[in-house]
Amino acid sequence: MKIFAIIAIIGAFVLSSADSSAQGSLAPAAQAPVILKPKFKFSNLKGAANFMGGIEIRGNEVDAYLDLRKVLTDAIEDATKAKKTDEDVITVELRADQLQNLAVLMQRGTLKGAEADAFKDIMTALNEAVKAAQPSGK
Question: φ, ψ for residue 4 (rounded to 5)?
Answer: -65, -35
Report field, pTM of the whole predicted structure over 0.85: no
For the chain, list residues with pLDDT below 50: 4-5, 8, 12-25
| Dihedral, 79, 83, 88, 93 alpha carbons, nearest 10 | -10
Helix axis angle, 96-108 to 62-81, nearest 10°: 100
- The predicted-structure confidence for 5-45, as pLDDT tens digits, reads as follows 455 455 544 434 344 433 444 555 567 788 999 999 999 99
Q: Domain segments of the chain: what residues?
A: 2-12+35-133
Quote the strand ranges of the chain, DSSP E.
35-36, 39-41, 89-91, 94-95
**Cα angle for residues 45, 123, 4 (degrees, 5° grid):** 140
**Cα angle for residues 129, 106, 18 (degrees, 5° grid):** 40
**Which 8-state DSSP code applies to residue 103?**
H
Q: Whole-angstrom Cα distance, residue 108 to residue 88?
A: 27
